[in-house]
Chain A
Amino acid sequence: MGKILSVYGPLLLTAMGQTLLLALYGLFFACIIGMIVGIMSVLKNRACRIFALIFVNLIRGVPMIVLAYFIYFGIPYFWNTVLQIGGLTLSALQAGTICLALNCGAYMAEIIRAGIEAVDVGQMEAARSLGLPYWRSMHRVVLPQAIRTMIPSIINQFIITLKDTSILSVIGFPELVNTAKNVVSKTFMSFQTWAIVAFMYLVVILILQQAAKLIERRLKRGRRSL
């Protein structure tokens, strides 16, 4: 174990950095997608709701590994060879980011939808009755209350997404699992290597969980009303 740490430790740390980078990119876009699709699913407009429904069910119904292969290999092939437009190459980081953003975005959309629906309709009605337009009411009254109930689920989803980055080792992105595989194939010390990798994930996720607890406690102390 000492040998692995001394020789490959820096490499694994770099890989952990890549994992976090990928997760960060993915989560950033997932938040945007989740917010847009989540709000679409509570709108009156039927087309918006149907789009949101299809998106969420499509993404949730496809395993992420399939999605990853599809985006990394399938889409460039379709674009360059079938449509003969050419010139599309996705780096593993780009494909991985898209994949995570779509996957996590769909789950985030569901969390956001549920959060908004959990706010009593009377809150929206009261705001509208005062003459506030729909989006102002959403922004000032409904969303602040919804977000408070959503935060634990969102952080949970962050953790899941962080772990899901390991799936993207299949498209060759040099994140932690992929790098660990290489280390194992060179050293044959699979027990030690995977134990180190597991420990690294564990540490990062425990830190995230502690942060989550802190935020939750803060919110509870801030207002008891919900």
Chain B
Amino acid sequence: MDGEAYKKVKISVQHLKKNYGPLEVIRDVSVDVLEGEVVCIIGPSGSGKSTFLRCLNQLEERTSGTIWINGQNITSHTVNINMVRREIGMVFQHFNLFNNMNVLRNLMLAPVDLKIATKDDARQTALRMLERVGLSDKADAYPDQLSGGQKQRVAIARALCMKPQIMLFDEPTSALDPEMVGEVLQVMRELAADGMTMVVVTHEMRFAHEVADRVLFMDDGQFLEEGDPETIFGNPQNPRLQDFLKKVL
């Protein structure tokens, strides 16, 4: 393999399988994600998209297969998963902001607690990230005082405070009221434009079409088709993908 090209692979998944008891949720999936690439995963509910994403930072333990992040095998027993997770930001469908802390402390908790930054530095970073997501005025607010869209933007800012190299998004707009979807997608769009490596599980086909470098279609625990958005949405080959697109578009 070409050394230059190898360096640029941020995520490499090989023969990933995940079973819940007898149920095969992910069946032998392999995929690479390159640096700066935005990969969107689409597919019907229950197809294994979220499980796949959650395997990437080991919130879900895989059954078998190998996952490489930045060239490091994170499925090995010797790896400290907490160190790996620092590099991988994750945004959840239900935001999961820490309810017992205000916005600023949500953002500062991990950097300060893990001694990555001093309190002052962490505060400055936090305020900068809040500005980036357009919520500078909400630093002292508690999660329950925010709208869904604001919560999700705070969640993105919180992940960014760890200065991750990769961002995972698990249906980030699915729990939002329609009028708030735009503001979150806008933040993600800017993040993509800044060159962040992103893996996004989404039902927002327009977002996938517009922002993704590559779209993966997952059904029944497998990637049945992948390609650039033009091909996936313009000229789908797999009948299941054609069927899926007919329903959602």
Judge: A and B partners, yes or no: yes
Using a CB–CB distance below 8 Å, which chain A residues touch chain B?
Answer: 120, 122-123, 125-133, 136, 140-141, 144-145, 148, 223-226
Alpha-carbon separation in the docked complex, A145 to B207 (Å): 36
B103 vs chain A, min Cβ distance (A) = 12
Query: Is the Cβ of B86 less than 8 Å from the Cβ of A131?
Result: yes
Chain B residues in 8 Å Cβ range of A144:
100
Chain A residues in 8 Å Cβ range of B84:
131
Query: Is the Cβ of B96 less than 8 Å from the Cβ of A120?
Result: yes
Chain B residues in 8 Å Cβ range of A125:
59, 92, 96
Query: Is the Cβ of B113 less than 8 Å from the Cβ of A132?
Result: yes
Chain A residues in 8 Å Cβ range of B97:
126
Query: Is the Cβ of A141 less than 8 Å from the Cβ of B92?
Result: no
Question: CB-nearest residue of chain A relative to B99?
Answer: A225
Interface size class of B (residues with CB under 8 A): 20 to 34
Query: Is the Cβ of B94 less than 8 Å from the Cβ of A223?
Result: no
Query: Is the Cβ of A131 less than 8 Å from the Cβ of B162?
Result: yes
B170 vs chain A, min Cβ distance (A) = 10
Query: Is the Cβ of A223 less than 8 Å from the Cβ of B98?
Result: no
Chain A residues in 8 Å Cβ range of B155:
126
Query: Is the Cβ of B100 less than 8 Å from the Cβ of A130?
Result: no
Question: CB-nearest residue of chain B relative to A136?
Answer: B113
Query: Is the Cβ of A132 less than 8 Å from the Cβ of B100?
Result: no
A56 vs chain B, min Cβ distance (A) = 27
Question: CB-nearest residue of chain B relative to A147?
Answer: B100
Query: Is the Cβ of B96 less than 8 Å from the Cβ of A130?
Result: no
- Cβ of B82 under 8 Å from chain A: yes
Question: CB-nearest residue of chain A relative to B86?
Answer: A131
Chain A residues in 8 Å Cβ range of B143:
225
Chain B residues in 8 Å Cβ range of A123:
96, 98-99
Chain B residues in 8 Å Cβ range of A148:
100
Query: Is the Cβ of B99 less than 8 Å from the Cβ of A132?
Result: no
Query: Is the Cβ of A129 less than 8 Å from the Cβ of B100?
Result: no
Alpha-carbon separation in the docked complex, A225 to B92 (Å): 19
Chain B residues in 8 Å Cβ range of A129:
57, 59, 85, 88-90, 92, 159
Instruction: Say which residue of A120, A132, A226 sits within 8 Å of B110 (CB atoms).
Output: A132
Q: Which of A126, A131, A141, A226 has the most CB of B within 10 A?
A: A131
- Cβ of B248 under 8 Å from chain A: no
Question: CB-nearest residue of chain A relative to B98?
Answer: A141
Chain B residues in 8 Å Cβ range of A122:
92, 94, 96
B144 vs chain A, min Cβ distance (A) = 4
Chain B residues in 8 Å Cβ range of A225:
99-100, 142-144
- Cβ of B114 under 8 Å from chain A: yes
Alpha-carbon separation in the docked complex, A26 to B109 (Å): 36
User: Sorted from nearest, which 6 A-B pairs have the closest CB atoms?
Assistant: A126-B96, A122-B96, A130-B110, A131-B86, A129-B90, A225-B144
Chain A residues in 8 Å Cβ range of B59:
125, 128-129
Instruction: Say which residue of A126, A131, A132, A140 sits within 8 Å of B92 (CB atoms).
Output: A126
Chain A residues in 8 Å Cβ range of B153:
none
Query: Is the Cβ of B82 less than 8 Å from the Cβ of A140?
Result: no
A129 vs chain B, min Cβ distance (A) = 4
Known A133-B82, A225-B100; 15 more pairs at CB < 8 Å: A125-B59, A126-B92, A126-B96, A126-B98, A128-B82, A129-B89, A130-B86, A130-B109, A131-B114, A141-B109, A145-B99, A223-B142, A225-B99, A225-B143, A226-B99
Question: CB-nearest residue of chain B relative to A146?
Answer: B100
Query: Is the Cβ of A140 less than 8 Å from the Cβ of B113?
Result: yes
Query: Is the Cβ of A145 less than 8 Å from the Cβ of B57?
Result: no
- Cβ of B83 under 8 Å from chain A: yes
- Cβ of B10 under 8 Å from chain A: no
B155 vs chain A, min Cβ distance (A) = 8
